[in-house]
Structure 1
Amino acid sequence: MYAVGIRIHVNYEADVDWSKTYIICPNHTSFLDISVLTFLCKTPFSFMGKDELLQNPVTRIFFETIDIPVKRDSKMSSFKAYKKALELLFDRKSLVIFPEGKIDDHYPPILHPFKPGAFRLATEHNIAILPVVIQDAWKIFWDDGRKFGSQPGVIHVHVLAPVETSAVGKENVMQLEREVYNKMKDTWDLYNKS
């Protein structure tokens, strides 16, 4: 990304042991987020994302081979995605799940409520959550480039401390989701002051 004028600065709240398996939960404000996570992750990982990414010739290459497409309105697709996610986690691959579910339609973006899937998967299998807040990617390339264009710049990434789930019961998934959301929102708000 450096060749096109985009730099990435990463700040870690705590040490991350990249030899462990994580469910990585970043916010989602730009098409650049996927590239940022590829730069960030120092461990084998796959993305779980909407099946519409199969329609784009560039993203289709990756999604057909290493990632997990999900058709949101299909229970069968969700079940297959869950099974594939378990296979990858048992193979010690980390999994990236955008808990907001999609890129924000609001400009400038805000952090939207999370969907519970990533947190349910993490608690059921004692996988730590790795919250990631991506700042400024939306300022560089928010939409498909037609409305707001693109520009060079610096993307700031805040990797928050891993959140262990081994002591979290299934009945506390919503509490875990809120805890992670609040940590990410505090970081998002701190660096997005007007």
Structure 2
Amino acid sequence: MLRTPLFFIVVFLATLVSAFSVMLIGLFRRHSDAAYRYVFRPWARSIAWAAGVKVEVSGQEHVEPNRAYVIISNHQSHMDVPVLGGYLPLKLTIIAKKELFRIPIFSHGMRAFGILEIDRSNRTRAIHTLEQAAMILREKNTSVLTFPEGTRSADGRLQPFKKGPFALASAHRFPILPVSVCGTFPILPKGKFWVKPGRVSLKIHPPLHPGEDGAGNREELIERVHQTIAAGLYEHENA
């Protein structure tokens, strides 16, 4: 019973302190190694801790630490961001839907961290966000985490993918890193406000390179990544 209030207290305090800390490091160095290592990752791990989440990561051998990726992940829960941000062995930022930037305090933390806001209802603004992401990947050597389902799954099942992240990767030949997030759905399901402790598995798959790896066009690339992530979820559910 005490887990849920503890969780939301930690989220509030950690976000407040972290946003202030990023400002001290320098508002114009949002994607610096220091901001990620000493602020964003501890913020993410503190939230996972408050939720009682135990994280297991597999496939780290597929990651080149000094390379930037377009990270493609399924989206089961609000816990996905703390788990991925806290435990993937990469410096990263996130593309998040505009609705999240309306949440008081949380929105300030997101902007301080340099998280990118995307408005999918406005094509011009969405393209601008993808251009910002390309700049961060190329010039900051920072990976960009995306959720191509567009929103959290209502039942934990993998939904169809939107094209945006794949357009980003294909246009600039950025490698795609597929990741299957398994186990976050029962911890904090969509539309629920209580937290249930649990175990989460992150399965990192081998990267795919647009135009190579047997994925000749964008539709084939989307299908291949979708199948890869789905296979990781299936393997976890039937382990």
Q: Distance in 1 between matches of 2:213 and 2:62?
A: 22
Q: Which residue of 1 aligns with 2:222?
A: 177
Identity, in percent, stands at 24
Which is richer in helix? 2
Structure 2 unaligned runs (5+)? 1-47
Contact 2:148 2:163 in 1 (8 A): yes
What is the CA distance between 1:4 and its match in structure 2?
Answer: 4.1
Structure 1 segments of 4 or more deviating over 6 A? Answer: 168-171
TM-score norm. by structure 2 comes to 0.73
Q: Does 1:23 align with 2:70?
A: yes
| Alignment partner, residue 90 of structure 1 | 138
Residue 110 of structure 1 aligns to a residue whose secondary structure is coil
SS in 2 for 1:156: strand
Higher strand share: 1
TM superposition shift of 1:192: 2.4
More deviation, 162-171/3-12? 162-171
* 1:40 has 2:94 as partner: no
Task: Return the letter of the residue paired with 1:101.
Answer: G
Contact 1:140 1:151 in 2 (8 A): yes
Offset of residue 13 of structure 1: 6.9
Distance in 2 (CA, whole Å) between partners of 1:96 and 1:60 is 17
1:113-167 deviation digits (Å, cap 9, x = unpaired): 1111111211111111111111111111113533xx3211111111111112253
The answer on 1:118 being equivalent to 2:165 is: yes
Query: Counterpart in 1 of 2:116?
Result: 68
**Secondary structure, aligned partner of 2:230:** helix
Q: Any conservation in 2 of the 1:23–1:127 contact (CA below 8 Å)?
A: yes
Give the 3 Å change call, closer, same or farther, for CA 68–28 of structure 1 in structure 2.
Answer: same
Q: How has the CA–CA distance of structure 1 residues 59 and 168 changed in structure 2, closer, same or farther, with 3 Å as cutoff? A: farther
| Paired residues, number | 190
Q: Distance in 1 between matches of 2:225 and 2:170?
A: 13
Distance verdict in 2 for CA 1:169–1:193, change over 3 Å? closer
What TM-score results when the alignment is normalised by the length of structure 1?
0.89
Q: Which amino acid aligns with 2:143?
A: S
Does 2:152 match 1:103?
A: yes
The answer on whether the counterparts of 2:183 and 2:199 sit within 8 Å (CA) in structure 1 is yes
AA matched with 2:163:
P
Structure 1 residues without counterparts, runs of 5 or longer? none
Gap change, CA 1:169 and 1:160, over 3 Å in 2 = closer
Cα offsets for 1:82-109 (capped at 9, x unmatched): 221122112211111101111012x2x1
The answer to whether the 8 A contact 1:63-1:69 is kept is: no
RMSD: 2.2
